[in-house]
A = this chain, B = another copy of it.
Amino acid sequence: MALIVQKFGGTSVGSIEKIRAVAERVLKERQAGHRMIVVLSAMAGETDRLIGLARQMQHIPDPRELDMLVSTGEQVSIALFAMAVKGAGYDAVSLLGDQVAIHTDQMHTRARIDSIDADRINRYLDQGKIVTVAGFQGVSDNGDITTLGRGGSDTTAVALAAALHADACEIFTDVAGVFTTDPGIYDKARKIDYISYEEMLELASLGAKVLDIRAVSMAKRFKVPVHVRSTFGNTIGTWVVDEEKIMESMLVSGITYSKKEARITVKKVPDQPGIAAKVFLPISDAGILVDMIIQNAHEGGLTDMTFTVPKADYERAMEILHKVAREIQAQTVTGDQEIAKISIVGLGMRNHAGIASTMFQIMSREGINMMMVSTSEIKVSVVIAEKYTELAVRALHDAFALDKENLPQEEVD
């Protein structure tokens, strides 16, 4: 008899019929003797509807009141789910974040979980109840409802699994698992059976949207085995587990891309100590996230600073930087929104220095110019012109033979 946490997202609970189908799925596990905790998101579209109401009411909705408002979405889902279970003749009980209690800090709309009380859930589980918990929400020290930000229901599920020492945390989604790359771009993309937390972190942060990055990070910290799988059908998805559980690591596990960033260069900056802070401080003060940063020294004490920012913040960043450039007497600021970031991720890279060079060879062979390169222990990212995205992804996928079975590969070079 295992303790299993299952999380279902908004599309999985988007209607009465779908919630009933989720209940039937959960009941099969219950009938198999497992203790079940079910974390639900709001019904598809509900959170956006509520945020829309808030924005109509107040230009920038008050964060505390916004949490009070949007947290109703998950509350509706868990109540209906509990009714579905009871209607099927089993016992269930729904719990809100403050009823569990899921304690968070007071940062409304993006709160972090401090601790979770396991007592009440354990008591209900001992009574044979299926416990359904509202995802995405918690309670602050002063009793206010907080929310964990978008994707927060994944975090709720993993945190509950950690606090209750669950045997597994299953994240149900509308895709079959984690793929070697976006199947929408390349039909040879293959589902990955096992992937390490570290790799998943890189994939999640690079835009593979199957699992929230904070959830992965928490799963890693508490070694919670996470199973990402499809709500539709009963196929095995991808297990995100501790590195040690994976017999042999792939050189490269997956290839991701992002078209959501823009590149900015501040040209011929006088190269003095503290100059980088003068450039980046106003950007971060404006709440703009800078991703890749590259600095090229010119002769004569001048340097070019190139970095990427989210496309949505591009205009604001340019405005700020033109002002900064005048102040620090840089020559000019240029930008490019027609870029894509392609990344290869794999634990195996650690021991194989050739991965990056293989990547560069492939790009060169395809005639794709690399504007920026950045590497981490298990990742290599390059920025290229947006129009080459598909070409690059497919060529790299072939080169690293990611369509082949999940066995250790030889280095390609």
Contacts and interface: CB of A to CB of B under 8 A. Distances in A.
Q: How large is the interface on A (under 10, 10 to 19, 20 to 34, 35 or more residues)?
A: 35 or more
Interface in A142-166: 143-145
A127 to B, nearest CB: 13
B68 A94 contact: yes
Most buried by B among A59, A62, A94: A62
A44 interface: no
Contacts of A84: 57-58
Interface string A79-108: 110111011000001101011000000000
A167 interface: no
Interface stretch (A69-77, A196-204, A325-333): A69-77
A137 to B, nearest CB: 12
Nearest to A78: B68
Given A50-B76, A57-B16, A76-B50, A83 B99 contact: no
A69 B64 contact: no
Contacts of A64: 93
A80 B99 contact: no
A78 B72 CA distance: 12
Nearest to A99: B143
A19 interface: yes
A5 interface: no
Contacts of A80: 53-54, 57, 65, 69
Given A87-B58, A143-B99, A75 B68 contact: yes
A94 B65 contact: yes
A149 to B, nearest CB: 17
Contacts of A69: 75-76, 79-80, 83
Most buried by B among A65, A71, A145: A65
Interface in A27-73: 50, 53-54, 56-59, 61-62, 64-66, 68-69, 71-72
A20 interface: yes
Contact of A83 (B62, B72, B96): B62
Contacts of A61: 83
Contacts of A75: 68-69, 71-72, 75
Contacts of A72: 72, 75-76
A53 to B, nearest CB: 6
Most buried by B among A16, A68, A75, A93: A68
Contacts of A58: 83-84, 86-87
A367 to B, nearest CB: 54
A93 to B, nearest CB: 7
B79 A66 contact: yes
Nearest to A56: B16
A65 B143 CA distance: 22
B65 A86 contact: yes
A353 B394 CA distance: 98
Most buried by B among A53, A78, A83, A99: A83
A27 to B, nearest CB: 14
Contacts of A62: 82-83, 86
Q: Which 4 A-B pairs have the closest CB atoms?
A: A69-B79, A72-B72, A58-B87, A68-B79
Interface of A: 16, 19-20, 50, 53-54, 56-59, 61-62, 64-66, 68-69, 71-72, 75-76, 78-80, 82-84, 86-87, 93-94, 96, 98-99, 143-145
12 contacts: A16-B53, A16-B56, A54-B80, A57-B84, A58-B83, A58-B86, A66-B83, A68-B78, A68-B79, A68-B96, A72-B72, A72-B75
